[in-house]
A and B are shown apart, each in its own frame.
Chain A
Amino acid sequence: DTGVSQNPRHKITKRGQNVTFRCDPISEHNRLYWYRQTLGQGPEFLTYFQNEAQLEKSRLLSDRFSAERPKGSFSTLEIQRTEQGDSAMYLCASSRGGTEKLFFGSGTQLSVL
């Protein structure tokens, strides 16, 4: 396993701009999760995919957020019209179907100026 890979590691943007993050899960992991983590807090669940289907969204995922996993492999998370409150670490995790063990990537640190 090469681990969960996230790109970019850091993103600085101006308020109002759109940003997109990418996550490559561990190969053969059919479940993929997005989390958000702010300073001093635990990761907060945003959404999850089983293969290409997005099966659950948190109420934290506003209309400005959209996630896709078009071929059931990598996933993208897009934030439109970024706000300063969007500044956070965005974490991706994956798991093998039927198991509870989640494996996290190193995250994308977003700073909205």
Chain B
Amino acid sequence: GENVEQHPSTLSVQEGDSAVIKCTYSDSASNYFPWYKQELGKGPQLIIDIRSNVGEKKDQRIAVTLNKTAKHFSLHITETQPEDSAVYFCAAILNSNSGYALNFGKGTSLLVTP
């Protein structure tokens, strides 16, 4: 099955700065990579995703880049705001038998200070 590693585990930035979170995966056949945001007491919320036929995808202040050769993908948040503070998880498809079930990284706790 897929193994996903995520770095850093914690990240503190000042409001307005950019934040970058990186993940690596093990299965070269993986082709779908979502990012989730989880706030305290809530379930993970899908914020952006990318498929392996695309190198970069943007949605307002959020972007994801994918390097298939190196088997890593990154989340970029620009012009960070205090409401961006949360735990962010990267993920990849677990295996072909699990109906698109995801394997998650361990998460990055992002703190945006005013």
- Interface window among A14-22, A39-47, A66-74: A39-47
Complex Cα spacing A88 to B103, Å:
17
Using a Cβ–Cβ cut-off of 8 Å, how many residues does chain B contribute to the interface with A?
A: 26
Residues of A contacting B91 with CB < 8 Å?
42
| A57-82, CB < 8 A from B | none
Complex Cα spacing A104 to B101, Å:
12
Complex Cα spacing A9 to B45, Å:
17
When the two chains form their complex, are residues A45 and B99 in contact, meaning their CB atoms are under 8 A apart?
no
If A50-B99, A95-B100 touch, whether A43 touches B49 (CB-CB below 8 Å) is: no
B102 close to chain A: CB less than 8 A: yes
B-contact 0/1 string along A75-102, CB 8 Å cutoff: 0000000000000000101010001111
When the two chains form their complex, are residues A4 and B32 in contact, meaning their CB atoms are under 8 A apart?
no
Using a Cβ–Cβ cut-off of 8 Å, how many residues does chain A contribute to the interface with B?
A: 26
Interface centre among A43, A55, A104 (most CB of B within 10 A): A43
Complex Cα spacing A103 to B45, Å:
7
When the two chains form their complex, are residues A43 and B106 in contact, meaning their CB atoms are under 8 A apart?
no
Q: Which chain B residue lies CB-closest to A43?
A: B104
Q: Which chain A residue lies CB-closest to B43?
A: A104
Q: Which chain A residue lies CB-closest to B6?
A: A42
Which 10 A-B pairs rank lowest in CB-CB distance, beginning with the nearest? A42-B104, A104-B43, A56-B98, A100-B32, A100-B100, A45-B101, A106-B43, A104-B44, A42-B89, A48-B99
